[in-house]
Structure formats: C-alpha cells, structure tokens
Amino acid sequence: MTFDTLGLSEKVLAAVEAAGYKEPTAIQTGAIPQVLERRDILGIAQTGTGKTASFTLPMLTLLEKGRARARMPRTLILEPTRELAAQVEENFARYGINHKLNIALLIGGVSFSEQDKKLDRGTDVLIATPGRLLDHFERGKLLLQGVEILVIDEADRMLDMGFIPDIERICKLIPFTRQTLFFSATMPPEIQRLTEAFLQNPARIEVAPTSSTAENVTLLLKGTPSKDFEKRAVLRELLENAEDLQNAIVFCNRKRDVTTLFRSLERHEFNVGTLHGDMDQRTRMMMLDNFRKGNIKLLVASDVAARGLDIPEVSHVFNYDVPINAEDYVHRIGRTGRAGRSGVAYTLVTSEDQKYLQAIEALINKKLEWIGDPIDFEAATKERKERRKTGKPAAKNAKSSNDNDADQAKPSTRRRSQSKPRDTAPKANVVEEKTEAVTTPAPVSEISQGSGGKKARNDREEEPAFSQGVHIPAFLLREPRPKKAS
C-alpha cells in the first residue's frame, strides 16, 4: 500500500514525501479514504499509530476548496491537553507546507487578544482545548456555525479529565450537517454513548490492540518497600545501575508524587525535569523541549501529562508506581523501544500491588521478570489479614520478602502526618522555581549542595543513610555549578 492510492491531493502527497513517510499506517489506510468521502469516523487507535496524520492529511485535502470567513472557523479539532493541541498544530504546519491555510490554536496560557486577532482574520483550522474554546465562545468572539469538520481526539482522555460535558455542549453548537472524526484509544461505556449521540453512521476503524508491547523492550520488575523514601532509594539505585541509559521517563500514578520525586531527584543532583497537569504552558513546553534536545536526561511525569507526547528515543522507562489501569502500562512502556530500537522498562512493585500487576500480565499475556527477590505477595497478604484481626504487626517469621512490614504496621495516621509537610507545600510555585532552575543558573543561595550538603528540608530526615554518597554516572548529572562560597 502506498499513499498515492488513498485519494490525497498532490500538495498533500508532496508534503508526505518531504516528511519521509514511505507507507501509510493501518489507521491511515483505513481512515483517509473514508474522511475524503465525507463519512464520520470512529477511530479506535492509540498514540503512536499515526493517528494524527490519519485526520490531518485528508482534512488538508478537503480544505483546498473554499475559504475561511472572519470568526467562523471551517474546521475544529478538540484536544484534551495543550501539548497535544500544540503537536497537532505542528502536524498541520508540517503537512500543510504547500497550503496557505490559517491555523489558530486556542489553549490556556496564551493571551486572548492574540488569539482573537487570529480568529478575526478567518481560520481554516482551529485547534483547541474544550475549556478555552468555550471561553472564547462565551466572549462572543467565535461563531461555530461554519464548522464543516469536527475532530474529537483522545476522547477517553477527555473523559478522564472531566471534559465530556464541555464536549457535549460544543457538539450541540456545531451544525449537525458537519462531518465528525472521533478518536479514542479505548471505548468505555460513556464514550460509546457519546459516539452514538454525535456520530452518524460512522466508519469504524480499529487498530493495534492496546495490549501489544514491543518485542524489543525488556520488561523488568523490582520489589520495593512501600514507604516513599525507600521507594525513592530503590529508584535511584536502578537509575545508577541501569545499563546504556541515555534518557528516561519516570512515571508516577499521583500528581503529588511527581512533584515530590522530582524534587528528591533534583536534590540528589540528577539531571531531571518534570511534567504534570498543573504546570503552565510555557514551563511545560520548555521542559519538553529541553528533554527532546537532551539537556534534561530524566523526566518525571504523570500519565495525563505524558499521554500522546511525541518524545523520540527514550532508552528507559521507570514506573515508580505500578499503574492502576493496565492499559496505562502499555502506554507508558510504549515510550521506549520505538522504531526497532531496544528499550528497558522497570516497574517498582510493592506488596500492595499484586492485583494491578496481575491485570497487566493478563493484558499483555506475559509473565514479567523480576530483578532481585520477587515480592512474596502471599506472605504479605497473610500478614495484612493477621494485622487486621489482631491490630498488631504479624510475627517476625511472617515478614514479606521485602521487609516492608515496618511500614505496613504503622497506623495510617502516622503515615499521613509524615507526608503532611510535602502536601502543604505551595506546589505551583515550587514547580516553577525548580523547572526554571533546569535552564537558568541558580542564584548562589539556591545552589544544591549534593546529597551530603547541609540542607533544611521537609523530608531530609527520611532519606536513608545508604543512599548518601553513591556514584551517579556523569551524564545523568546536572551541569557542574559553582559551590556556595563558605
């Protein structure tokens, strides 16, 4: 199969050739001719399948006829995050080099007046996050009656992020004669319902089940105690000893842990950045750009923030937590082993993760390999049951293989109070301050002193002694900075 047979225009085919694509991917082969025939599409495909080009290429072809009118965009693409919206814009710029189309991006973090100016000029392609689009609409700066093609991308992510009511509202503001292209990696019932309400006789194209993992990625498990500081120490050990580590993404399940882990790795002088949903647009873009260029070697991220980002050549993935959704595991490890390169994905596992691990192994139909001692889930479960019965820790001989009974034995109030100082830290400011430190030399008063330095910090006393003074490979370290004058 070649691109020539799909019905795309000459201008688009020339851009595809310039992009170096030889063959269309499965979603492109399935979707492009149907979009060109003006059919609605239900594309069940995840990121990495070439899904973006499957709608941008035929849209560019269709947009060659007709002209944009002021404040009445001709097409609208809804994306759950600013990064994804920015990536779709990049795609339009790349594939649309032979077109003179006006493309506008409506996302948070960009001034309204700048965006209004673009809309006034007439927009062929409007790419937006749902909230920002509605803000513009409510200010009367945008008319949606002219939209001929509506794209709803990453619908399941929209659901996770609570955007479905906004999507429903937007769908109702656009004439029903429009063509709707709808993409989702998974089809939970809420998404199914949405497709039934807003798609008309769609062509359904389903590709690459989300259970497939690349053959060239080595999948490893590492048992760890549950306490945060101990998990961080285990992670550092993995980072320090991983072979051929060029760059890596470290995934956490919780936003709060992303910030805490990022700060901890930074204090341990790793060359690290972070990406999570609360960061402002400029900081996220700067972070991602630095990671792409190799200025940052480690990126601590949450699933939502990392979903869909086109980050090339990640040699390793570290799952700081076992993902609660088995499919997130597949998405996470899909960041490595791209284009036939080899990759390694480590997952830290505590004695409480058994059911999540089982779900992953069932999904990918593979038993994952442990490095070091596997967790003895049976012993840990027995111990938990005993503790529930007696209210006391189990006898010593019932210890789990990872020695984490001390953690489990603690009353939950104590654990909560231990983590309190970090929870109450002013998160947004801290993230700003730390992320800027990645590219800007820190003032002398902020310079990190390394793991042995004297620092008054929230969780300093939690850091175990054995993590001090370990050797960290030079490429994982920050650029050397002058030490504080004594």
Binding site for ligand AMP (CB under 6 A): 21, 23-25, 28, 47-53, 310
Minimum distance from CB of 32 to ligand AMP (Å)? 10
Amino acid present at 85? A
User: And the tokens for 54?
Assistant: 């499957």
Q: Measured between alpha carbons, how far apart are the two ends of the chain, in Å?
A: 68
Minimum distance from CB of 81 to ligand AMP (Å)? 13
Residue with smaller CB distance to ligand AMP, 51 or 227: 51
Give the span between the Cα atoms of 52 and 31, in whole angstroms.
11
354-364 and 377-390 are packed helices; what angle lies between their axes, rounded to 10 degrees? Answer: 150
Minimum distance from CB of 309 to ligand AMP (Å)? 9
Distance of CA 484 to the CA centre of its chain: 36
Minimum distance from CB of 284 to ligand AMP (Å)? 17
Strand order in the sheet with 149-152: 103-106, 125-128, 75-78, 149-152, 179-184, 41-44, 203-206
Residue with smaller CB distance to ligand AMP, 31 or 235: 31
Give the span between the Cα atoms of 112 and 11, in whole angstroms.
33
Minimum distance from CB of 338 to ligand AMP (Å)? 9
Residue with smaller CB distance to ligand AMP, 213 or 253: 213
What CA dihedral angle connects 461, 464, 465 and 467, to 10 degrees?
-120
CA atoms within 13 Å, Cβ hemisphere of 474: 1
Minimum distance from CB of 153 to ligand AMP (Å)? 9
Residue with smaller CB distance to ligand AMP, 50 or 146: 50
Residue with smaller CB distance to ligand AMP, 310 or 386: 310
Q: Buried b vs exposed e over 15-26: b needs ≥16 C-beta within 10 Å?
A: bbeeeebeebbb
Residue with smaller CB distance to ligand AMP, 50 or 273: 50
Minimum distance from CB of 224 to ligand AMP (Å)? 32
Give the span between the Cα atoms of 394 and 403, in whole angstroms.
12
Distance of CA 101 to the CA centre of its chain: 29
Residue with smaller CB distance to ligand AMP, 71 or 284: 284
